[in-house]
Amino acid sequence: MSIEKRLKLARSTAPDDALDRVIDAAAREGLLDVAYATIGSPLGEWLVAATPRGLVRVAFADTFDDVLEELSHRVSPRVLESPSRLDEIRRGFDEYFDGERRDFGFPLDWSLVKGFNLKVLRATAKIPYGGVSTYSDMARRAGSPRAARAAGNALHNNPIPLVVPCHRVLHRGGGLGGYGGGLEMKEFLLKLEGALDQE
């Protein structure tokens, strides 16, 4: 029986350990390029996806189907749900939301980002826990000091939010700016990290 048929059968009938063995076999045979899982948080469910190079995508609950389609088109059609392959990332998220982790430290796969956007996001990844920056500063660090609006667009399209902490980027006057998960989520994250006062 081919690995593809075993995967279909395992999805519908196998206990978790059997499914893990089939997914491991898929990985050995080169049929697993992107593993994904959903994880819970105080802010709802998130989807996380990783390639052998590292974490490639983090998404909010209302976008899961679109994200999986994007991954299959832009990274590889070999996308499989594999929670056990993402245990370290899930643990990191739990520790972050419990206030026990300040730096995720995961390897990242930047393959969904190019050019100026990549420069902005690499600069954003260096903003420390509890710190904030501005859109204009991110543009400057990316080599285009006058491109604050373009930096904002790059941050809005960040494929790895939270881990690449676009929530730490504010307007120059201190206003929150925007956030893909909504301003309430951005405010929650900044308060969790101590960058905004708790009310």
Residue 23 CA to residue 27 CA, distance in Å, equals: 6
Is the backbone of residue 115 left (phi > 0), alpha (psi -120 to 50) or beta? left
Tokens of 113: 């980002």
Give the start-end residues of each E strand in the chain: 34-39, 46-51, 54-60, 79-81, 133-134, 169-170
The answer for residues whose C-beta is within 8 angstroms of residue 66's C-beta and 6 or more apart is none
Q: Which helix (H) or strand (E) holds 73?
A: helix 64-74
Catalogue the active-site residues. Answer: 166
pLDDT of residue 184: 92
* Nearest-angstrom CA–CA distance, 25 and 187: 43
The percent of the chain in helix, strand and coil, each rounded to the nearest 5, is: 45, 15, 40
Q: Full-prediction pTM beyond 0.85? A: no
Measured between alpha carbons, how far is 134 from 111 in angstroms, rounded to an integer? 25
Instruction: Give the pLDDT confidence of 35-71 residue by residue, as tens digits.
Output: 999 999 999 999 999 999 999 999 988 888 999 999 9
What is the average pLDDT value for the chain, to the nearest integer? 87
Can you list the domains of the chain with their CATH numbers? 32-97 (3.30.160.70), 115-192 (1.10.10.10)
What mean pLDDT comes out for the span 104-121? 97
Report yes or no: 136 and 199 within 8 Å, Cβ to Cβ. no
Which range, of 19-28, 55-64, 108-117, averages the lowest pLDDT?
Answer: 19-28
pLDDT tens digit sequence for 134-173:
999 999 999 999 999 999 999 999 999 999 999 999 988 7
